[in-house]
Amino acid sequence: MGGPHISRTVADLRAQVKDWRRQGLGIAMVPTMGALHEGHLSLMREALSRADRCIVSIFVNPTQFAPTEDLDKYPRQLERDLERLAEVGVQLAFTPAPEEVYPKGFATKVVVGGPSAGLETDFRPHFFEGVATVVTKLFLQAAPDCAVFGEKDYQQLCVVRQLCRDLDIPVEIVGAPTVRDGHGLAMSSRNAYLDETGLAVARQLNKVLRNASAAIAGGADPETETAKAREALLQAGFRSVDYVAARESGTLAPWREETEGRLLAAAWLGTTRLIDNVEIAART
């Protein structure tokens, strides 16, 4: 099987999409920052199950990194990524240079309210503005019928859904389940920063969240359980905890017991920041 067609410019991407549309083909998209792992591949398989053609963007988006964050050291492995796209059967890789996405004089930003408030925004106030801007551009450039995002980045998924609703962007947003290793650790490109000792600590994150979620669903006080979870993560070896919070699944407003919810967390292991989330069942 040959590899995917590689588009490095918006003009080439649109020409390929136009040809597919002329053939009456449905198109799905998976936006990524590369360093692809099994979690990403699961999104692509979902996309290919929903459409005739799949576009995967590979672009380390500078606008969602603060000056203090890991833009320069974020893993980049384009050749390996393209091999993985070929393994799954993706038909097109969009791999633009930063100046193709943000040409000289670029001055527009997209800001999404609602589910972007709090959580990640409390610690990375620039983040969702960068995500919303690049996702808007990608959807306008590729014009897919649907796009698949992982539930691991749950707040991001909610923000993108809000973006498309509010701006009438005709792209169906599909949330795909988090892919985990055999110990429950969510697949992440940043896991590559961790040694075996770090991985052993990281694998406690999901375990702590699942325990807290079960307690909350069973009637325990959410504030008490999230405080216990923060302490448990510190005891497990995390350097610090940005948040552990119980929120409603759709709006990310504070969780109420009659609604389905999500327990979301972000914590630091050395210089690596990990995020995860689990469902909270509605109390009956």
64 marked among binding-site residues:
yes
150 marked among binding-site residues:
yes
152 marked among binding-site residues:
yes
39 marked among binding-site residues:
yes
Active-site residue identified among 5, 40, 126, 183: 40
3 marked among binding-site residues:
no
Long-range contacts (CB closer than 8 Å, 24 or more residues apart) made by 205-209: 205/233, 205/236, 205/238, 205/265, 205/267, 205/274, 205/276, 206/180, 206/276, 206/278, 208/232, 208/233, 208/236, 208/265, 209/244, 209/263, 209/265, 209/276, 209/277, 209/278
Cα 35 to chain center, whole Å? 13
219 marked among binding-site residues:
no
In angstroms, rounded to a whole number, what is the distance separating the alpha carbons of residues 191 and 280? 25
In angstroms, rounded to a whole number, what is the distance separating the alpha carbons of residues 119 and 158? 12
What is the gyration radius of the CA atoms in the chain, in angstroms?
19
253 marked among binding-site residues:
no
* DSSP codes, 22-61: HTT--EEEEEE-S---HHHHHHHHHHHHH-SEEEEEE---
260 marked among binding-site residues:
no
37 marked among binding-site residues:
yes
151 marked among binding-site residues:
yes
Amino acid letter, 33: M
38 marked among binding-site residues:
yes
182 marked among binding-site residues:
no
As a whole number of Å, the end-to-end CA separation of the chain is: 51
190 marked among binding-site residues:
yes
In angstroms, rounded to a whole number, what is the distance separating the alpha carbons of residues 25 and 18? 10
184 marked among binding-site residues:
no
Amino acid letter, 86: A
Q: Would residue 183 show up in a list of annotated catalytic residues for this protein?
A: no
Question: CB of 260 within 8 A of CB of 282?
Answer: yes
Query: Which stretches of the chain are assigned E, i.e. beta strand?
Result: 5-7, 27-32, 53-58, 92-94, 146-150, 172-176, 240-248, 261-269, 272-280
153 marked among binding-site residues:
yes
35 marked among binding-site residues:
yes
Binding-site positions for beta-alanine = 64
Question: Which residues have a catalytic role annotated?
Answer: 40
Binding-site positions = 33-40, 64, 150-153, 156, 179, 187-190
Binding-site positions for ATP = 33-40, 150-153, 179, 187-190
Binding-site positions for (R)-pantoate = 64, 156
